[in-house]
Structure 1
Amino acid sequence: MKHLHLLGLLLLSCPCLLLCTVTPVVVGIRREAEALVKWKASLDSADDSFGSWSLANSASLCRWTYITCDSARHIKELSIFKASLNGTLDEFDFSAFPQLKSLYLLDTGLYGTIPAGIGNLTSLVMLEIHRSPYLRGAIPRSIGQLKHLALLHLTFLGLNGTLPEEIGNLTKLEKLELHSVTLTGSIPPTIGMLGKLQELRLVGNNLTGSIPMEIGNMTQLQIMELESNYLEGQLPGTIFHMVKLLYMILSENQLVGTISPELGNSSLWYVDIAHNNFSGVFPPSICVAGALSAVSAGHNGFTGIHRQTFQNCTTLERVDFTANNIVAELSDCFSEHPGQLKAMAFSQNQVHGTLLMDRGEDFLCNFTHLHLLDLSSNALHGGLTKCFWDMQNLQFIDLSSNSFSGVVPFSSTCQDQLKYLFLANNNFTGAFPLGLKTCKKLAVLDLGGNNFSGTIPSWVSMSLPELNFLRLSSNMFDGIIPHEILQFRQLQVLDLSKNMLTGPIPDDFRNFTGMAQEQNNNDFTYSDAYSYQVKIQIVWKNADRLYIVVIAGMAGIDLSGNSLSQEIPNGFTTLLGLRYLNLSGNHLSGCIPEDIGNLVLLESLDLSRNQLRGEIPRGFADLKSISNLNLSTNMLSGRIPMGDQLRTLDDPSIYSNNLGLCGSPLEDCVSSSTPTQAETSLDEDRETLWFYCFVAAGFISGFWLYLGFLFRSETWRYSFYQYVDNMQAKKVPSW
């Protein structure tokens, strides 16, 4: 009986215990719903995707958009992605979400600051705020209270201020990315306390000072990206204690000094230290671990590469030492067995020697995996061999600005992969290379600045149908421009300047569709596994410049410095995409085409030093984009047209040596529409003369009319005749 009494009491207490347990949960969920609805109400506006956020719908909180709940129906994840919030976080009650583990605010349009209250999210593991450029202020120090945080991503925000020292309190942090949030100041030494950190990305900020020594304490770090800041000083020796480091990207800073030989102690796979001020000899130990795949060390001050540096790099795929001061024999930089090497860029150094190895074999023949080769602007000499054309994977070759010579070797095959070929500014001789006839995929061909001679072959447009850029300037090509050259459908830049070409300019531009309209920005960035910008040499606005061809909207023709004759073809005026046209220094005659004003995108026009006649067409006033013009040294006449853009070209020299031209910026024209003082005086004299003529004519006419009237009177007529007889009688002499 006693046991039954105890059992009854237990059964009566269970509902009370259950009620006591459930009530806090319900209250907590209610508080979460109220906090979200209150925050929504504080926003200037929120799009329709937040329609479910309502207290009337609080029983279905876990079904609200952007919300994920745990098993107890508490919110564990708030993920708002590409939703228009248009408001701040000021009214967000962070303390209402003690169970929140993930907060993602991506492309939301938030502005204001990150409140200090964010430190109340004590269970938070993942925090990511992305692409809200109007979210300003500093990273709050309370961020250090998030003891469980494993991932912190703040990217593309408008923050300012420093990285707080409290960041070191996040000892469970594994991934830290603060990308393009305009941080200032230095990296705090407390960052070394992040012993579990695997990825550190502080890219695109305004960080200054040196890299702290304590960074070496992050022994679990695999990725370190600190590029695009203003970091200075030397690399701390402790950085090489991070034996698990795979990616080290420090490019675009102001780091100095030499690279320690200890660099090879890690398992580095990718090293990018480009655009700094490093100097000395690059260390030979970089490949000790045998895992290195890519080294980008361009735009520094390295003076040499140890002969053994890349000898054992069997995994190496890319090497870039562009724009250093390296003095070395080319064959000393690499072994005869380059392994998997796909990209080699040593442009703008003092690399010397030939492409031949010690045993007389061509240096390139062993590089069967090579996709990109840039040895431009060095001191290399000698010739090329046939295997130059037989490299199956090669897409990009730049050997320009060296001292290579001889005839470009012939091969009956050209690999389909070849797209970019630069042989400019060397001493190559002979005819246009016949080996190019089978390079069907070629997009850029630059043979300028050599000693090529003979005629331009008629097959060039049919055999190279995908060509976008053709530069043959500063050679000794002669004969006429073949009519077939106008068959290029994709050509955007044609430069045949400074040769010995004669005859008329072909007139049929119907197939020149690459210049017939404004070009979209085609991507001329060479890209295999790595990005490499293609650059072309263009005479632009009277200056020889090197252009990155990412801006492939460029379209132009340069035929200057030849002996071309006859008239300027009307067909030029159909190339509406032209941005520059240079026909100067020829023997062109006739008039400037009337429809020249159709070229509304034209920025630079040079027709100087020809024998052009007639007036400058009125259509010149329609050249809305023109900023560089030269019509000097011709035989042009008449008034210079005026337009909004032409008025800005006020240098008289652009019209000089045309004796018949007048108008701004030259002397005023003499015309009826604007009479001078002499013209006005002459007109007045003419008016006076005509007045006296009319008076005299009136007097004479009146006299004869009056005389005629008297003769009609018989009495007057008899008296007049009697008077005449008497006068005659007086004059007759007496005998």
Structure 2
Amino acid sequence: MIFPFIISCLLVSATPKIFVFAFRSNDTDQQALLSFKASVDDPSGALDSWNTSMHFCQWRGVTCSSRRERVIKLNISDQQLGGRLSPHIGNLSFLRGLYVYQNNFHGSIPNEIGLLFRLQYLNLRQNYFTGGFPANLSHCTDIRKLSMSNNELEGKLPTEFSSWSKLDRFDARVNHFTGSIPPSIGNVSSLLFLDLAYNNLVGGIPLELAHHTSLQFLNLGVNGLGGLVPPSLYNSSSLYVVGLNQNVLEGTLPSDLGFTLPKLQGFYGEGNLFSGPLPPSIVNASNLVNLDISANSITGPIPINWDSLPNLEVLGLGQNPLADYSQLQDWIFFNSLVNCTLLTYLDFSQNGLRGKLPSSIVNLSTTIETLYLFGNQIYGTIPREIGKLVNMKDLGIARNFLTGTIPDSIGELSQLGELDFGANNISGVIPTSIGNMTQLGVLSLEYNMLRGSLPPQLFNISTIQEVYLSNNSLGGIIPAEIGFSSQCLILYLDQNLFTGPLTFSIGNLKQLVTLDVSNNRLTGEIPTTLGDCVMLEGLYMEGNLFQGRIPSSFQALKSLHFLDLSNNNISEDIPNIFDGFHLIEFLNLSHNKLGGEVPRQGLFSNISAFSVDGNLRLCGGIQALQLPSCPVEVSKNKKKTFSLKIILPLVLLPLGILACLALICYRRQNSKQLQNHVLELQENQYLKVSYQDLMLATNEFSTNNILGEGRYGSVYKGVLKSVEHIVAVKVLNNEVHGANKSFIAECEALSNIRHRNLVKIITICSSTDFKGNDFKALVFEFMTNGSVDNWLHPGPNYQGNKRNLTLLQRINISIDVALGLDYLHHHGHEKIIHCDIKPSNILLDEDFVAHIGDFGLARFSYATRNDISQAQMTSTGVGGTIGYVPPEYGMGGETSIEGDVYSYGILLLEIFSGKRPTESSIVKFDGGNLHEYIRNALPYKVMDIADPRILLDQDEHELNVNQSYSRPTLEVCLASVFEVGILCSQEMPQRRMDISIAIKQLHAARDKLLQAVP
């Protein structure tokens, strides 16, 4: 009996201490909350109730236990609170739930949070927490739901998850966690929800993760995860959402995917490296709502019974080679989608689909909001009933072969935000009903055959931000209503037929970032109001008929990166307004009528940042321009004026006499040259050689020394004994009609040019052979690596040697040729048209630098040569080589620099495809030429049309697979180069890319390639 008595006494004596402890504990919670409040920024007064006038259990967001009045839940979410999370939170020892999501807390998560050993629910998402994963959080062994998403946390995830045996939700997406996914996460057997998306996680998906047989939600998207997906992961019968998108995962999707994941509602696998066929069982996942596996390498066939998925809302299959050509003519797979009555998003872009655009497109559910069919090979017309899809927001059918017109019913799509019909063959006018699309933000109709005027109704749309109308045949004036588009950011009207002045209302586009009106027929002065568009980064006005001066209001355009006013009639001086243009990358003022002194400071001090070529009245500038010095201002002092009146006649009189004598001599000399049909080169500048010298140099013109044969003669390799120099000797065949005139043309051209990428002439020989026959030859610098033609198409002489031009070499050669043409067209004493650009006329020196050769068909573009008339220079007729001759020459068109650009475009396509333009396989193809062959394959079959040897590299005479570049890098680079070739070889001369722009594009492609080399 004594023990109960003792125990009773102890209990009675201890009772006051228990009460005191309870009181102190309550006091601890209150003090912890007040300390928490002290570190919080509370602009909206959400925590005003946190004061001693009421019990803390009644404070806003505080929940206490009913018996002990201890804080068990703190929910202060979405209250605009800021500041730091106080470490005093660790004193709320009975806390089970902490919710502070959607606020503005920053700083690190305090380690004291690990003292909350009763904590079960922790939600910190959508704040600005930084630092690493809280180290002591593993002490909270009762944790069940943990959300830390949408913060700025970094570092590695904890390697040990076993302590959280009761965790069923872990959400840590949109942070900066690195490293791999810890395999120990597989020990959390109760895990139902795992979201680690939008981090920097790498490595593979741990096999242990597939042990979670109860896992329902898995999101690992937008990381750097690679390797194969554990097959057992697809066998989790409880999974209803699988997010694997935007990683580098490989392998195939299981064929029974629709059966092994019976509860599947969402599968997101886009942007990976998945291959193999599309699982046919996917249509058996009857609960499926969202399926997106776009941007992979998944093949067809495409299932034809999508209507078995009644809940389907999103179907993304774009950018996969899905096309099964045996079933696409009737588009059965597409017709089955008509019965998916909840469908909102449909993507079949870049799938290689062929056939006629199905009329059933207008029978899709009116719930459809997004439809992408771009980048296929679909023909036909846009259905007139397209207006039935009244909820459509994004419609993209660009880069196909659509014809016909844009139906008026398009205006019934009043919810449309983006319309893209670019790069088709659509004709007709832009319907005025387009003004009814009150939500339209982006309009893309570029690269079609649209005509007529620009409808003013388009610019009454207040939401319009981007307009792409390049490369059509639109004409008339640009309407003043364009100024109503106050939200417009990008406006491309280039390569059309617009006339008249550019409206002054253009200055109302205060947010305009890019304006391109180049290559039209715009006249008048440049609007001064353009200076109000202070956000402009790119302003392209080249290729018009603008006149007057550069507006001084341009001084306000400090954001400009590119300004191109070239090829206009702009006159007067270069204004001193460009000093503050610190962002400018290139200023092009070339080929205008500017005069006066070129500035030397600012961007004008860097020759690569501007161009003023073709302005004949300019002077001064930096030395690299090689412009004449500007005249010194003459003093108005009377004495000096009087002196000049006396001195100038004394100086000018003898100079005039000398000039007259020189002119007489020049005319006599040229007259003699015409009689002999030979243009003699200066004796003191060129080596003198005789017929005998050249005969000995070439081993009596041995056939073993022949480097090549052309229309007017043969080229021999030789060694000039007098200087021990290897040369190439081009001997004219005088029996061929036109050979003599070709010789004259080539001499005249070569005597006026000097450039790194043009063949260098050493001398000429005009004499007689030992039989008294006329002998004419040109002696050139020998090109060690022969012609590009021999490398692209090696003949029998090269079959024993493996020859290949690498991708980088091909790009360098293309740039070299373009630079040579640019010099001929724009930078010589006179414009020279080569007229025969082809691989056999592109020669490679020891360092594989390309040189343009064979100027036998060259023309000067001006008929101002003093004694050699234009008629004589062109009397040989329109020359060139079949396959490279521009189409307008065959219809009697005059030779032009645009003709050279066409030949260059075909050359570019040949260099990178390895196919001659006259190959039978090309001629039989739709369109019948190399241009159409390449265009039809771009940009999604670029690797199919590229020369297979581009993937090889030459190493000590052996060809091996080049490992330097990834396939995506090769595809992007080749697509860029092929695009330049396509734009240069357009059928209409006025649509061809300027050679200077081609150079920039090729430089950009080469830069991307070099940046990708590890």
Structure 2-normalised TM-score?
0.55
1:248–1:272 CA contact under 8 A, matched in 2: yes
Deviation at 1:201, TM superposition (A): 0.9
Structure number with the higher helix fraction is 2
Q: 2:467 aligned with 1:470, yes or no?
A: yes
Q: 2:604 aligned with 1:609, yes or no?
A: no
Distance 1:121 1:635, change over 3 A: same
Distance 1:222 1:664, change over 3 A: farther
1:466-491 Cα offsets, whole Å, 9 max, x none, are 54333322112334444555555554
Counterpart of 1:168 (choices 145, 162, 168) is 162
| Greater C-alpha radius of gyration | 1
Deviation at 1:176, TM superposition (A): 0.9
Q: 2:255 aligned with 1:298, yes or no?
A: no
Q: 2:192 aligned with 1:198, yes or no?
A: yes
1:249–1:273 CA contact under 8 A, matched in 2: yes
Between the aligned partners of 2:81 and 2:405, the Cα distance in structure 1 is 63
Letter in 1 for 2:334: F
Instruction: Report matched runs for 1:336-415 at 5 Å.
Output: 336=336, 337-339=338-340, 340-356=342-358, 361-411=359-409, 414-415=412-413
1:220–1:242 CA contact under 8 A, matched in 2: yes
Aligned partner of 1:158 in structure 2 is 153
Letter in 2 for 1:103: L
Between the aligned partners of 2:308 and 2:553, the Cα distance in structure 1 is 64
Between the aligned partners of 1:650 and 1:306, the Cα distance in structure 2 is 56
1:250–1:272 CA contact under 8 A, matched in 2: yes
Between the aligned partners of 2:540 and 2:617, the Cα distance in structure 1 is 23
Deviation at 1:46, TM superposition (A): 8.3
Aligned partner of 1:234 in structure 2 is 228
Letter in 2 for 1:186: S
Secondary structure of the structure 2 residue equivalent to 1:240: helix
Instruction: Report matched runs for 1:645-684 at 5 Å.
Output: 646=603, 650-651=607-608, 654-665=611-622, 666=625
Letter in 2 for 1:342: T
Between the aligned partners of 2:593 and 2:58, the Cα distance in structure 1 is 82
Distance 1:431 1:109, change over 3 A: closer
Between the aligned partners of 1:108 and 1:466, the Cα distance in structure 2 is 32
Structure number with the higher strand fraction is 1
Between the aligned partners of 2:564 and 2:491, the Cα distance in structure 1 is 15
Q: 2:39 aligned with 1:77, yes or no?
A: no
Distance 1:134 1:175, change over 3 A: closer
Between the aligned partners of 2:488 and 2:474, the Cα distance in structure 1 is 20
Between the aligned partners of 1:85 and 1:200, the Cα distance in structure 2 is 29
1:386–1:409 CA contact under 8 A, matched in 2: yes
Between the aligned partners of 1:341 and 1:316, the Cα distance in structure 2 is 6
Aligned partner of 2:542 in structure 1 is 584
Aligned partner of 1:99 in structure 2 is 94
1:458–1:484 CA contact under 8 A, matched in 2: no
Letter in 2 for 1:391: L
Between the aligned partners of 1:122 and 1:389, the Cα distance in structure 2 is 61
1:367-393 Cα offsets, whole Å, 9 max, x none, are 433221111111111222211233222
Counterpart of 1:24 (choices 21, 24, 29) is 21
Between the aligned partners of 1:426 and 1:37, the Cα distance in structure 2 is 68
Letter in 1 for 2:352: Q
Letter in 2 for 1:26: F
Structure 1, 567-576 or 193-202: larger mean CA deviation: 567-576
1:437–1:460 CA contact under 8 A, matched in 2: yes
2:362–2:388 CA contact under 8 A, matched in 1: no
Deviation at 1:345, TM superposition (A): 1.6
1:562–1:586 CA contact under 8 A, matched in 2: yes
Letter in 2 for 1:99: F
Distance 1:58 1:123, change over 3 A: farther
Between the aligned partners of 1:435 and 1:199, the Cα distance in structure 2 is 49
Secondary structure of the structure 1 residue equivalent to 2:611: helix
Deviation at 1:425, TM superposition (A): 0.7
Structure 1, 392-401 or 596-605: larger mean CA deviation: 596-605
Q: 2:453 aligned with 1:456, yes or no?
A: yes
1:249–1:272 CA contact under 8 A, matched in 2: yes
1:377–1:401 CA contact under 8 A, matched in 2: yes
Secondary structure of the structure 2 residue equivalent to 1:629: strand
Instruction: Report matched runs for 1:375-524 at 5 Å.
Output: 375-411=373-409, 414-433=412-431, 436=434, 438-453=436-451, 455-461=452-458, 466-483=463-480, 485-486=482-483, 488-502=485-499, 504-509=500-505, 513=508, 515=509, 517=510, 519=511
Counterpart of 1:147 (choices 141, 156, 175) is 141
Distance 1:629 1:239, change over 3 A: same
For structure 1, the 5+ residue unaligned runs are 1-8, 520-553, 691-735
For structure 2, the 5+ residue unaligned runs are 1-5, 645-1014
Between the aligned partners of 1:110 and 1:439, the Cα distance in structure 2 is 43
Structure 1, 582-591 or 607-616: larger mean CA deviation: 582-591
Between the aligned partners of 1:386 and 1:266, the Cα distance in structure 2 is 41
Distance 1:258 1:480, change over 3 A: same
Deviation at 1:229, TM superposition (A): 1.7
Distance 1:170 1:403, change over 3 A: same
Instruction: Report matched runs for 1:177-196 at 5 Å.
Output: 177-196=171-190
2:579–2:601 CA contact under 8 A, matched in 1: yes
Aligned partner of 2:116 in structure 1 is 121
Deviation at 1:559, TM superposition (A): 1.6
Q: 2:272 aligned with 1:276, yes or no?
A: yes
1:114–1:138 CA contact under 8 A, matched in 2: no
1:403–1:427 CA contact under 8 A, matched in 2: yes
Distance 1:287 1:649, change over 3 A: farther
Between the aligned partners of 2:428 and 2:34, the Cα distance in structure 1 is 80
Letter in 2 for 1:561: N
Distance 1:441 1:136, change over 3 A: closer
Distance 1:195 1:495, change over 3 A: same
1:580–1:603 CA contact under 8 A, matched in 2: yes
Aligned partner of 1:557 in structure 2 is 515
Aligned partner of 2:314 in structure 1 is 318
2:431–2:455 CA contact under 8 A, matched in 1: no
Deviation at 1:459, TM superposition (A): 4.6
Between the aligned partners of 1:234 and 1:209, the Cα distance in structure 2 is 10
Letter in 2 for 1:429: S
Between the aligned partners of 2:199 and 2:458, the Cα distance in structure 1 is 48
2:120–2:142 CA contact under 8 A, matched in 1: yes
Secondary structure of the structure 1 residue equivalent to 2:257: helix
Q: 2:295 aligned with 1:333, yes or no?
A: no
Instruction: Report matched runs for 1:216-295 at 5 Å.
Output: 216-264=210-258, 265-295=261-291
Deviation at 1:603, TM superposition (A): 3.1
Distance 1:631 1:74, change over 3 A: same
Letter in 2 for 1:289: A
Letter in 2 for 1:209: G
Between the aligned partners of 1:236 and 1:347, the Cα distance in structure 2 is 29
Letter in 2 for 1:564: L
Between the aligned partners of 1:248 and 1:24, the Cα distance in structure 2 is 50
Secondary structure of the structure 2 residue equivalent to 1:620: coil
Deviation at 1:437, TM superposition (A): 5.9
Q: 2:545 aligned with 1:597, yes or no?
A: no
2:432–2:455 CA contact under 8 A, matched in 1: no
Between the aligned partners of 2:411 and 2:37, the Cα distance in structure 1 is 68
Between the aligned partners of 2:244 and 2:468, the Cα distance in structure 1 is 37
1:444-478 Cα offsets, whole Å, 9 max, x none, are 3222111223x215554477565433332211233
Letter in 1 for 2:496: N
Between the aligned partners of 2:581 and 2:424, the Cα distance in structure 1 is 38
Distance 1:462 1:143, change over 3 A: closer
Aligned partner of 2:528 in structure 1 is 570
Aligned partner of 1:136 in structure 2 is 131
Structure 1, 386-395 or 183-192: larger mean CA deviation: 183-192
